[in-house]
């Protein structure tokens, strides 16, 4: 397909051959000479030394100059090969690899994410490396490619798979307990299959939350496009900082789930500054799951979303880097049979036993440091960008792992 | 004790001190000038002269044997290399 | 140690002719020989601890998945293994033990320049070691960062990194003081006639090492202090979120730690340069070149630290420079190897234990060094960096090189201080076991690395099973050899045949004084009239 | 023991110089970081440097230079066997050290009062280079302050020994080494001063 393309293997392997070859010759030469001398001049055969020579300037010059030339050649080939590793072909397909303790996720130009690196055969891939926490290493032994993934730094690597197949992808830079489990693979697919894979994304239905907004007339007072109406616009409301009047006192708060819920049920408890207290309470009108759907819609800022797959999420967010599904103990407790189990946890230095119900599980995900399961280290990172429905999906997924 | 010890007169020490004070004033004055990056090199140059004075007279280097001078030079050169070589990375990244 | 190990039959020697007795006559002694033995035994104890950890690491890796420990334990274990081996065994080992025991005698001095400082160094070492050991059992548990303490991980982990790092800091300070002491001693206390051209090569190598200790160790000190500051004060100097750069940590760390590998190997090369001529009864070939190449390695070796960072995202220019310089350092090592081999030519070679260890050093160090070339070349390092190949490389140079030289030195010099010697046959058997076991263990690791198995992996894919198992079995052979060697050596030192003043026929000064030496080393100040390898002048049969 | 306790004067001084090298390299690591971060954040460094108390810096420079003078004069004085004067001069050095540290204390309190200290919310909110600058500033100056403290203690011990007559015109290597150490502390400051107070 790209006959003239230099692959990373072609850049590196000859250098290996050359240096290994030279070293082997040297090593065998030195060993053989040594053994011959030891044998020939062993005290049993040579009771007295037959020479007291203490040097020979020409010999020494020879073995300064020759090795110098040799190592310079090694240096040169090594450097030349390295340059090809750095020269990214122009037509390379960009993919972003995100590393975190202890999992990989790959993002393609069209926004698709995956926990394995799918690539088309024969096309160079440019991997942009992003770390969310500590150092990791992006290592593809099959392609002789390695680059550290450094937080705050834009590193990249490129490679091309010439044959379809599955290749190991390791984390090479030590990054903590899950380091050796931070393994995934490169899946090289023939071009058409890859294109199909890339295009395939779950077809998205209209979000049920939006229908509810229409149905209950919310959109009469609130816009979805940022324009002001009687009430504040709902565009970008999630996470927004608002100033509200609570019982006549001014305070500022962040829009989150409890806030939205309260805004629907008792709209006049917190009134956004600059707006009249005229919104009716919806407590009698909306059912619990409808409220959840509305909140989930607002949370997604009106962007349509596919229903969440907890298992996929758990893999992508790296939960499975620490939590197993088969009962084995990793860096964190296993998810298997966790739901409704009695767990012993440490909270602020006191030991207590709790039931792993929905509330506990979502707290464990939101604030991992709040309750630490006995026998584990407080290393689970917080996930500030996990949205509520994602957490719900995760909890549901955990519930399902029996 | 076998070695000879040079005694530096108070007068000389005080003149070195005056020199150091003058250089301090100079470096503060230079820092007010508007010469851009020149400041870095200017103030470092003045600081080096000051350090040189301290080493030469206060620390008696002027009256020491060759060995110590060489060693000092060597140590400073190594430090300069440590810092300098790091710039092969920092400057070209 | 203590007076229990003291050979009973010796007359007046440094074992018994001091005023004090009991343990305080040791731990407060300023005699370089006693301090040397103190170092020797403490260093050896740490070696045995770390070696046991190494064996446990291998057992864990025997099969994929969990074998005997969990990942957190494994990570802590290789960290402690590395830290203890590097900072408590091999770096203080040569200068502290043999540098102290031998160097002053070889230059014809009664002691080092600052004997009290010397004792203080040992105490600092013990103090630092105690802190490191304490850090394993307190706080958040043993550190799990690897011996390199890379940020940002070392700043985030909840294990007891700060304390361990502080311990290493203290040990580093001890190493600095030893270096200062030795450079001064070699400049000031050489006996009459002991010109620079007549210094034994071991002294030359200790001299070069001492310079590295002086100039590189402070950088480690400040680097470790910065880790502590980052953890405790949150200075953010290496934290990208606050403008820091994690790579600057790596620069600082390797500015010390690459030269540090020469702290490990240079004295070892010195031992080899002393042992090979004696057992060949022939002057060393190219004395000047070997002496000079020690300095050259120390100097050029300070300029190559970047070769540990080829994949880190360092600039390509820096890779060019550091890769080039890495190859430059290989040249002085090559000179030494060729000169050692040439020394054998037309000699009269006797294969006793010290010589066997020395010759196997040649082989193992060459393998280790040549694999270093693979690592030094930019293209090939990319593939093998952070894999088992690197682990193989450095065990070849450190254990196969420095370690085997240490064993050679133990067999060669310890009889001098005990007046008794080990039995030859078991020593040879032990050597053979170790040599074979060593190659099985570490060669397998190099192959694993070529196939792509990363290092610091608690678990691995099934395709790596066979070689890992081989390596583990090799480590057991190695263990049996080591145990046999130590048992035989110490039995011999305590109960073995007495040796004369000069059992091997050496020409350096330590063989001209009684075994064990008297406290003041030389009854009258020696006047040196011939070179260190001039076997014709020393009246040997 | 037959070993005559003869003093190796040149050896002691060589040893001291070697030790000073190691101190230099200890600070060298911080200077290395300074240099590289200056290359990366020149603007931020300039802005941060403007916020420093140049008056404190200058006064402290003068104080340290003067303390160095008295330390150097103390060596001359002991060579001339003028022990009383040695004590006065060393006293002067130690006094300078105390004033220096006191000034430092005032300066730091004022900065901390303004919300400038490692990991402070103010620095966290500001540009990254500024946070790096001040972290380095606190570390370098803190380490230097520690050395001032150690140096002053050392010189006090020396002064005490001079008083006891252990150090005298015939054997004063301890005094000389103590003052060498003090000069090193001074030299380090001579570089810290322009780097943190005057640059850009
Ligand atoms: C005793 C310790 C020691 C010694 C002596 C050496 C010696 C050398 N080392 Fe090694 N090295 C380590 C200990 C040591 N190393 C350690 C501990 C690490 C890992 C650190 C970590 O990450 O944990 C490491 C890692 C390491 C790396 C980084 C690898 C990576 O992480 O990617 C590199 C890269 O260049 C390297 C290169 C070399 C070279 C070129 C030499 C040269 O000095 C070797 C010179 C010797 C020879 C060349 C052989 C003898 C000569 C001949 C047989 C004659 C013929 C030779 C020629 C013609 C050239 N070493
Ligand atoms: C002086 C240096 C030195 C020495 C001698 C050794 C010796 C050994 N090391 Fe080494 N090792 C390091 C320095 C050293 N190591 C360093 C610096 C690292 C890197 C750490 C890091 O990544 O941060 C490392 C990492 C390292 C790893 C890699 C871990 C990983 O990346 O996953 C492994 C794995 O096999 C290993 C194994 C061994 C073994 C089997 C030995 C064997 O040679 C041990 C041989 C054993 C014997 C000969 C047994 C003797 C036993 C006894 C005498 C029994 C007495 C015991 C009791 C009474 C309880 N070491
Ligand atoms: Cu991520 Cu190792
Ligand atoms: Cu190195």
ipTM, two decimals, is 0.89
What values do phi and psi take at A156, rounded to 5? -145, 165
Strand, coil or helix: what is C364? helix
Q: How confident is the model at residue D6 (pLDDT cuts 50, 70, 90)?
A: low
Q: Is the pLDDT of residue B63 over 60?
A: yes
The residue nearest atom 3 of ligand 2, judged by CA position, is: C85
- Determine the Cα–Cα distance for residues D55 and C12; give it in Å rounded to an integer: 67
Decide: C271 and C279 in contact? Cβ < 8 Å: no
Strand, coil or helix: what is C455? coil
Ligand located closest to C368 CA: 1
The pLDDT value recorded for residue A302 is 53
The pLDDT value recorded for residue A304 is 46
In sequence order, what are the residues at sequence separation of 6 or more whose Cβ sits closer than 8 angstroms to the Cβ of residue D73?
A: B10, B13, D85, D89
Give partners of C (≥3 CB pairs < 8 A): A, B, D
The residue nearest atom 37 of ligand 1, judged by CA position, is: C372
Other beta carbons less than 10 A from residue A1's beta carbon: 10
Give partners of D (≥3 CB pairs < 8 A): B, C
List of chain D residues whose C-beta atoms are within 8 Å of the C-beta of residue C520: 1-3
Long-range contacts of B19-28 (CB under 8 A, 24+ apart): B19/B53, B20/B50, B20/B53, B20/B54, B20/D65, B20/D68, B21/D62, B21/D65, B23/B49, B23/B50, B23/B53, B24/B50, B24/D58, B24/D61, B24/D62, B24/D65, B24/D193, B27/D193, B27/D194, B27/D198, B28/D54, B28/D58, B28/D198
Measured in angstroms, how far is the CA atom of residue A373 from the centroid of ligand 3?
Answer: 24
Establish whether residue C260 lines the binding site of ligand 2, counting it when its CB lies within 6 angstroms of any ligand atom. no
The pLDDT value recorded for residue A206 is 53
Other beta carbons less than 10 A from residue B74's beta carbon: 14
- Which atom number of ligand 3 is nearest to the Cα of residue A135? 1
Using DSSP bridges, classify how beta strands A184-189 and A165-171 pair: parallel, antiparallel or unpaired: antiparallel
Gap between the terminal Cα atoms of chain B: 56
Q: Does D37 touch chain C (CB under 8 A)?
A: yes
Establish whether residue C397 lines the binding site of ligand 2, counting it when its CB lies within 6 angstroms of any ligand atom. no
**Any domain includes D11:** no
The pLDDT value recorded for residue C541 is 40
Task: Number of B to D CB contacts under 8 A, please give it.
Answer: 124
Choose which residue among C395, C438, C453 to substitute to test ligand 2 binding: the one with the highest number of ligand atoms within 8 A of its C-beta: C395
Mean pLDDT of A331-358: 85
Instruction: Name the H helices within D41-198.
Output: 42-50, 54-79, 83-113, 121-125, 128-164, 173-193
**Any domain includes D2:** no
- Determine the Cα–Cα distance for residues C37 and A165; give it in Å rounded to an integer: 60
What values do phi and psi take at A298, rounded to 5? -65, -35
The residue nearest atom 49 of ligand 2, judged by CA position, is: C479
Establish whether residue C78 lines the binding site of ligand 2, counting it when its CB lies within 6 angstroms of any ligand atom. yes
Cα–Cα distances in angstroms (integers) from residue C110 to residues A264, C102, C189, C525, D15, in the given order: 91, 11, 8, 9, 18
In sequence order, what are the residues at sequence separation of 6 or more whose Cβ sits closer than 8 angstroms to the Cβ of residue C157?
A: A176, A379, C140, C143, C144, C145
What values do phi and psi take at A165, rounded to 5? 155, 180
CATH architecture assignment, domain A208-300: Orthogonal Bundle (1.10)
pLDDT digit string (tens) for A93-146?
Answer: 999 999 888 888 898 988 787 888 999 998 999 999 999 888 999 999 999 999
Q: Is the pLDDT of residue A251 over 50?
A: yes
Strand, coil or helix: what is A381? coil
**Any domain includes D19:** no
In sequence order, what are the residues at sequence separation of 6 or more whose Cβ sits closer than 8 angstroms to the Cβ of residue A258?
A: none
Measured in angstroms, how far is the CA atom of residue C86 from the centroid of ligand 2?
Answer: 11
**Domain at A93-199, CATH homologous superfamily:** Cupredoxins -  blue copper proteins (2.60.40.420)
Q: Does A48 touch chain C (CB under 8 A)?
A: yes
The residue nearest atom 9 of ligand 2, judged by CA position, is: C54
Record: contact B85-C306, CB cut-off 8 A = yes
Low-confidence ranges of chain C (pLDDT < 70): 1-11, 17-20, 536-541
- Determine the Cα–Cα distance for residues D66 and D70; give it in Å rounded to an integer: 6
The residue nearest atom 39 of ligand 1, judged by CA position, is: C372
Percent of chain A past pLDDT 90, that is, above it, reads: 27
Ligand located closest to C264 CA: 1
The residue nearest atom 14 of ligand 2, judged by CA position, is: C85
- Give the DSSP letter of residue C462: G
Q: How confident is the model at residue A32 (pLDDT cuts 50, 70, 90)?
A: very high
**Any domain includes D159:** yes
In this complex, the residue of D28, D40, D75 whose CB is nearest that of residue B82 is: D28
- Determine the Cα–Cα distance for residues C44 and A347; give it in Å rounded to an integer: 44
CATH architecture assignment, domain A310-400: Orthogonal Bundle (1.10)
Strand, coil or helix: what is A328? coil
Domain ranges of chain A: 8-42+57-86, 93-199, 208-300, 310-400
* Full residue range of the structural domain in which residue D120 is found: 29-197
**Any domain includes D162:** yes
CA atoms within 13 A on the CB side of A310: 15
- Determine the Cα–Cα distance for residues A399 and A392; give it in Å rounded to an integer: 10
Q: Nearest-CA distance from A167 to chain C in Å?
A: 11
The pLDDT value recorded for residue B2 is 39
What values do phi and psi take at A317, rounded to 5? -80, -5
pLDDT digit string (tens) for D22-66?
Answer: 999 999 999 999 999 999 998 888 888 888 888 889 999 999 999
pLDDT digit string (tens) for C354-393?
Answer: 999 999 999 999 999 999 999 999 999 999 999 999 999 9
The pLDDT value recorded for residue C367 is 95
Q: Is the pLDDT of residue A308 over 80?
A: no
Q: For ligand 1, which residues put their CB under 6 angstroms from it?
A: A 26, 30, 67, 70-71; C 148, 261, 264-265, 307-308, 326, 329-330, 333-334, 337, 366, 369-370, 372-373, 375-376, 381, 385-386, 390, 393-394, 397-398, 401-402
All structural domains of chain C, each given as residue ranges with its CATH number in brackets, are 3-512 (1.20.210.10)
Q: Nearest-CA distance from B78 to chain C in Å?
A: 8
In this complex, the residue of C248, C309, C315 whose CB is nearest that of residue B92 is: C315
Higher pLDDT, C409 or A342: C409
Record: contact C158-A379, CB cut-off 8 A = yes
CA nearest to C31 within chain D: D1
**Any domain includes D18:** no
Q: Nearest-CA distance from D136 to chain B in Å?
A: 16
**Any domain includes D46:** yes
Q: What angle do CA B58, B59, B64 make, to 5 degrees?
A: 125
Percent of chain D past pLDDT 70, that is, above it, reads: 96
Using DSSP bridges, classify how beta strands A184-189 and A117-120 pair: parallel, antiparallel or unpaired: parallel
Mean pLDDT of A27-48: 92
- Which atom number of ligand 3 is nearest to the Cα of residue A99? 1
In this complex, the residue of A67, A78, A135 whose CB is nearest that of residue C379 is: A78
- As for how many domains chain D has, the answer is 1
The pLDDT value recorded for residue D3 is 40
**Any domain includes D123:** yes
The pLDDT value recorded for residue C430 is 95
Cα–Cα distances in angstroms (integers) from residue C98 to residues B38, C336, C419, D117, in the given order: 52, 21, 16, 47
Domain containing residue D87: CATH number: 1.20.120.80
The pLDDT value recorded for residue C485 is 95
pLDDT digit string (tens) for D17-29?
Answer: 999 999 999 999 9
In sequence order, what are the residues at sequence separation of 6 or more whose Cβ sits closer than 8 angstroms to the Cβ of residue D154?
A: D178, D181, D182
The pLDDT value recorded for residue A394 is 87
Q: Nearest-CA distance from A188 to chain C in Å?
A: 19
Using DSSP bridges, classify how beta strands A145-149 and A136-140 pair: parallel, antiparallel or unpaired: antiparallel
- Please choose, from the candidates C404, C363, C350, C348, the residue with its C-alpha nearest in 3D space to the C-alpha of residue A31: C363
Q: Which of residues 166-185 of C touch D (CB under 8 A)?
A: 176-177, 179-181, 183-184
In sequence order, what are the residues at sequence separation of 6 or more whose Cβ sits closer than 8 angstroms to the Cβ of residue B72?
A: B55, B61, D17, D21
Decide: D196 and D140 in contact? Cβ < 8 Å: yes
The pLDDT value recorded for residue D198 is 82
Strand, coil or helix: what is C368? helix
Burial of C465 (0-12, 13-18, 19+ CB in 10 A): middle
Establish whether residue C339 lines the binding site of ligand 2, counting it when its CB lies within 6 angstroms of any ligand atom. no
The pLDDT value recorded for residue D114 is 85
Q: Is the pLDDT of residue A7 over 50?
A: yes
Gap between the terminal Cα atoms of chain C: 35
Other beta carbons less than 10 A from residue B32's beta carbon: 10
Measured in angstroms, how far is the CA atom of residue A182 from the centroid of ligand 3?
Answer: 6
Q: Is the pLDDT of residue A69 over 50?
A: yes
The pLDDT value recorded for residue D4 is 41
Decide: C238 and C151 in contact? Cβ < 8 Å: yes
Q: What is the DSSP code string of C59-108?
A: HHTTSSS-SSS-HHHHHHHHHHHHHIIIIIIIHHIIIIIIIHHHHHHHTT
- Please choose, from the candidates D188, A360, D28, the residue with its C-alpha nearest in 3D space to the C-alpha of residue C220: D28
CA atoms within 13 A on the CB side of D165: 0
Q: How far is CA B74 from the centre of its chain?
A: 14
Q: Does D8 touch chain B (CB under 8 A)?
A: no
């Amino acid at each position: 397909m790209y006959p003239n393309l230099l692959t990373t293997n072609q850049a590196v392997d000859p250098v290996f051959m050359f240096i290994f070859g030279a070293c082997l010759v040297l090593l065998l030469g030195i060993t053989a000479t040594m053994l011959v001398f030891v044998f020939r001049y062993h005290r049993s055969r040579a009771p007295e030394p037959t020479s007291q020579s203490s040097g020979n300037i020409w010999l020494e010059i020879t073995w300064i100059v020759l090795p110098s030339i040799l190592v310079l050649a090694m240096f040169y080939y090594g450097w030349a090969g390295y340059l090809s590793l750095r020269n990214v072909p122009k037509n390379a397909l960009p993919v972003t690899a995100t590393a975190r303790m202890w999992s990989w996720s790959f993002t393609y130009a069209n926004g698709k994410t995956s926990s394995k690196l799918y690539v088309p055969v024969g096309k160079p891939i440019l991997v942009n490396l992003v770390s969310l926490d500590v150092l990791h290493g992006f290592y593809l032994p099959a392609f002789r490619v390695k680059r550290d993934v450094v937080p705050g730094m834009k590193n990249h690597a490129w490679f091309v798979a010439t044959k379809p197949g599955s290749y190991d992808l390791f984390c090479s830079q030590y990054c903590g307990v899950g380091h050796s489990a931070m393994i995934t693979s490169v899946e090289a697919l023939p071009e058409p299959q890859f294109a199909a894979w890339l295009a395939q994304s779950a077809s998205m239905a209209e979000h049920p939350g939006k229908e509810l907004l229409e149905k209950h007339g919310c959109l009469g007072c609130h816009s979805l496009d940022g324009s002001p109406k009687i009430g504040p616009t709902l565009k970008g409301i999630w996470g927004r900082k608002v100033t509200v009047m609570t019982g006549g006192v001014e305070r500022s708060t962040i829009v989150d789930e409890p806030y939205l819920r309260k805004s629907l049920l008792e709209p006049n408890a917190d009134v956004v500054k600059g707006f009249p207290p005229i919104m009716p309470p919806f407590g009698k009108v909306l059912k619990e799951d409808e409220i959840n759907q509305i909140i989930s819609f607002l949370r997604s800022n009106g962007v349509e979303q596919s229903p969440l797959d907890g298992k996929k999420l758990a893999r992508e967010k790296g939960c499975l880097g620490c939590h197993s599904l088969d009962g084995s103990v990793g860096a964190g407790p296993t998810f298997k049979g966790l739901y409704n189990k009695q767990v012993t946890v440490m909270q602020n230095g006191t030991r207590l036993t709790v039931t792993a119900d929905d509330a506990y599980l979502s707290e464990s995900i939101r604030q991992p440091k709040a309750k630490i399961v006995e026998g584990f280290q407080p290393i689970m990172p917080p996930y500030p960008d996990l949205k509520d429905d994602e957490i719900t999906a995760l909890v549901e997924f955990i519930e399902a792992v029996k | 004790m076998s070695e000879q010890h040079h005694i530096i007169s108070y007068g000389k020490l005080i003149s070195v001190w005056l020199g150091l004070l003058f250089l301090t004033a100079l470096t503060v004055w230079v820092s007010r000038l508007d010469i851009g990056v020149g400041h870095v090199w200017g103030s470092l140059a003045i600081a080096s002269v000051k350090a040189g004075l301290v080493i030469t007279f206060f620390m008696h280097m002027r009256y020491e044997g060759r060995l110590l001078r060489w060693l000092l030079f060597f140590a400073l050169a190594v430090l300069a290399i440590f810092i300098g070589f790091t710039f092969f990375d920092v400057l070209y990244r | 140690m203590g007076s229990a190990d003291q050979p009973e039959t010796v007359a007046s020697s440094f074992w018994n002719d001091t005023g004090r007795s009991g343990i305080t006559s040791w731990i407060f002694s300023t005699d370089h020989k006693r301090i040397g033995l103190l170092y020797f035994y403490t260093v050896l104890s740490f070696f045995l601890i770390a070696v046991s950890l190494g064996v446990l690491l291998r057992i864990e890796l025997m099969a994929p998945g969990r074998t005997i420990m969990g990942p957190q334990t494994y990570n802590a274990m290789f960290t402690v293994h590395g830290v203890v081996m590097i900072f408590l065994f091999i770096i203080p080992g040569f200068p502290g033990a043999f540098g102290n025991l031998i160097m002053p005698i070889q230059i014809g001095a009664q002691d080092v320049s600052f004997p009290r400082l010397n004792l203080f160094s040992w105490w600092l070492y013990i103090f630092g070691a105690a802190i490191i050991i304490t850090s394993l059992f307190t706080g958040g548990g043993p550190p799990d960062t690897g011996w390199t303490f890379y940020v940002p991980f070392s700043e985030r982990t909840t294990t007891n990194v700060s304390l361990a790092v502080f311990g290493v800091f203290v040990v580093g300070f001890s190493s600095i003081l030893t270096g200062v002491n030795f450079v001064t001693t070699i400049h000031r206390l050489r006996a009459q006639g002991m010109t620079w051209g007549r210094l034994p090569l071991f002294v030359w190598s200790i001299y070069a090492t001492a310079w590295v200790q002086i100039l590189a160790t402070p950088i480690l000190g400040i680097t470790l202090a910065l880790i502590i500051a980052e953890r405790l004060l949150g200075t953010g100097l290496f934290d990208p979120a606050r403008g820091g750069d994690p790579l600057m940590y790596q620069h600082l760390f390797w500015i010390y730690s690459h030269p540090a590998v020469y702290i490990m190997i240079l004295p070892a090369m010195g031992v080899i340069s002393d042992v090979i001529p004696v057992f060949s009864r022939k002057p060393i070939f190219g004395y000047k070149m070997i002496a000079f190449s020690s300095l050259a390695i120390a100097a050029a070796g300070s300029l190559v630290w970047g070769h540990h960072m080829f994949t880190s995202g360092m600039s390509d220019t820096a890779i060019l420079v550091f890769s080039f310089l890495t190859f430059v350092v290989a040249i002085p090592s090559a000179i030494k190897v060729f000169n050692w081999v040439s020394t054998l030519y037309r000699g009269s070679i006797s294969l006793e234990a010290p010589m066997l260890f020395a010759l196997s050093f040649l082989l193992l160090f060459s393998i280790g060094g040549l694999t270093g070339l693979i690592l030094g070349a930019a293209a090939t390092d990319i593939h093998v960096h952070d894999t088992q190949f690197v682990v193989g490389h450095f065990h070849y140079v450190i254990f196969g090189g420095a370690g085997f030289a240490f064993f050679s030195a133990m067999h060669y010099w310890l009889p001098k201080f005990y007046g008794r010697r080990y039995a030859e046959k078991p020593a040879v058997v032990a050597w053979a076991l170790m040599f074979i076991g060593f190659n099985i263990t570490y060669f397998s690791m190099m192959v694993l690395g070529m196939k792509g198995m990363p290092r610091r992996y608690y678990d691995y894919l099934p395709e790596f099973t066979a070689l890992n198992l081989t390596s583990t079995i090799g480590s057991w052979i190695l263990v049996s050899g080591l145990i046999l060697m130590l048992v035989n050596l110490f039995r011999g030192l305590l109960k073995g045949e007495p040796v004369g003043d000069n059992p091997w026929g050496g020409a350096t000064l330590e063989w001209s004084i009684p075994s064990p030496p008297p406290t003041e080393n030389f009854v009258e100040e020696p006047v040196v009239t011939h070179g260190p390898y001039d076997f014709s002048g020393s009246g040997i049969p | 023991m037959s070993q005559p306790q003869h003093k190796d004067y040149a050896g002691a001084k060589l040893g001291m110089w070697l030790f000073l090298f190691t101190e230099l390299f200890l600070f060298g690591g911080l200077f290395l970081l300074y240099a590289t971060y200056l290359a990366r954040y020149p603007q931020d460094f300039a802005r941060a440097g403007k916020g420093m108390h140049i008056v404190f810096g200058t006064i402290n420079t003068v104080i340290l230079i003067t303390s160095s003078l008295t330390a150097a004069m103390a060596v001359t004085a002991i060579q001339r066997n003028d022990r009383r004067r040695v004590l006065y001069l060393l006293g002067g050095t130690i006094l300078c050290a105390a004033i220096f540290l006191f000034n430092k204390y005032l300066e730091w309190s004022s900065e901390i009062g303004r919300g400038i200290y490692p990991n402070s919310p103010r620095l966290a909110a500001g540009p990254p280079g500024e946070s790096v600058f001040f972290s380095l500033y606190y570390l370098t100056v803190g380490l230097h302050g520690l050395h001032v403290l150690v140096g002053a203690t050392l010189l006090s011990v020396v002064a005490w020994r001079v008083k006891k007559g252990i150090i005298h015109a015939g054997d004063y290597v301890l005094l000389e080494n103590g003052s060498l150490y003090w000069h090193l502390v001074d030299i380090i400051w001579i570089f810290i001063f322009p780097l943190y107070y005057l640059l850009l």
